[in-house]
Structure 1
Amino acid sequence: MYEIFEQLLQKHGLSAYKVAKETGVTQSTLSDWKRGRSTPKTENMKKLADFFGVSVEYLMTGKNSEPLTKRDEKEIGAILSNTEALLRQEGLMFDGVPATPEAVESIISAMQVGMEMGKKRNKELYTPKKYKKDK
């Protein structure tokens, strides 16, 4: 995945330092990603993708799939809304510690990215050829 990030750096004539400074994603995060120790958290991936004007999916896989329809976005929004209400209830704990608002936001953000990628992947796999748009 870091290779795609490097390609975007070269394409835009930027350094990882400059991107880190502009996005607020720490250099240590990028360094760990480069060395394969970890991948940036969902919110950091979103910051990097937004900075380069690409999707998180592209940043992670190097591929862009069909965009989601309004119906898909509405379905995902409804699921996230219900989940968010559940996650914001009093008493939610992680390892015996009450969940912080930041933890809840991180979970919701990760779920959104996962559901969007899943919807796109399913469209790619299960849409009959006659209904696919030529790429």
Structure 2
Amino acid sequence: MQSIYERIEYLIKQKGLTKKSFCEQLNISTGNMGDWKRGKSTPGTHKLIEISAFFNASLDWIILGKNTTEILREGREDYFFEHIGQLNCQNAELLPKEKEFIKEYLAFTEYRKRKPTDENS
């Protein structure tokens, strides 16, 4: 899949939706969808975020076709701090309180990933 449109189209098919149904649910005009298909335009940032949430798909994958498990690199160094492998603001020194907050946030996001996606349950 080469384009954002192709990846969105793939997600639509995987969810068993029609393009019309998808457009109605996300308030996207079929004209805009056609422009995306022809490469005339791409979805805006807010719409990409909506689409990502709707399909529970990574923005990195929708926009770039890349998995989020890849390591960010600048030059030859990885940007990690301590044992948890989290981005460290490009080597800016974090206070212990800030590191603890980040660890708690990571634990929360892991919990959210494991939580069932059905909001009604």
Give the TM-score normalised by structure 2: 0.53
Unaligned 5+ runs, structure 2: 86-121
Tell me the distance in 2 between the aligned counterparts of 1:26 and 1:36.
Answer: 16
Matched, 1:2 2:1: no
More helix, by proportion: 1
Give the equivalent residue in structure 2 for 1:88.
none
Matched, 1:56 2:56: no
Q: How large is the RMSD of aligned CA atoms in angstroms?
A: 2.9
Q: Which runs of 4+ in 1 moved over 4 A?
A: none
Aligned residues: 78
Higher CA-based Rg: 2
CA distance 1:65–1:38, shift in 2 (3 Å): same
Give the equivalent residue in structure 2 for 1:43.
46
Give the equivalent residue in structure 1 for 2:20.
17
Q: CA deviation at 1:30?
A: 1.3
Higher RCO (CA < 8 A, seq sep 6+): 1
Give the TM-score normalised by structure 1: 0.48
**1:34-66 alpha-carbon deviations (Å, 9 max, x no partner):** 110010110111111111111222111222223
The structure 2 residue matched to 1:28, chosen from 23, 26, 31, is: 31
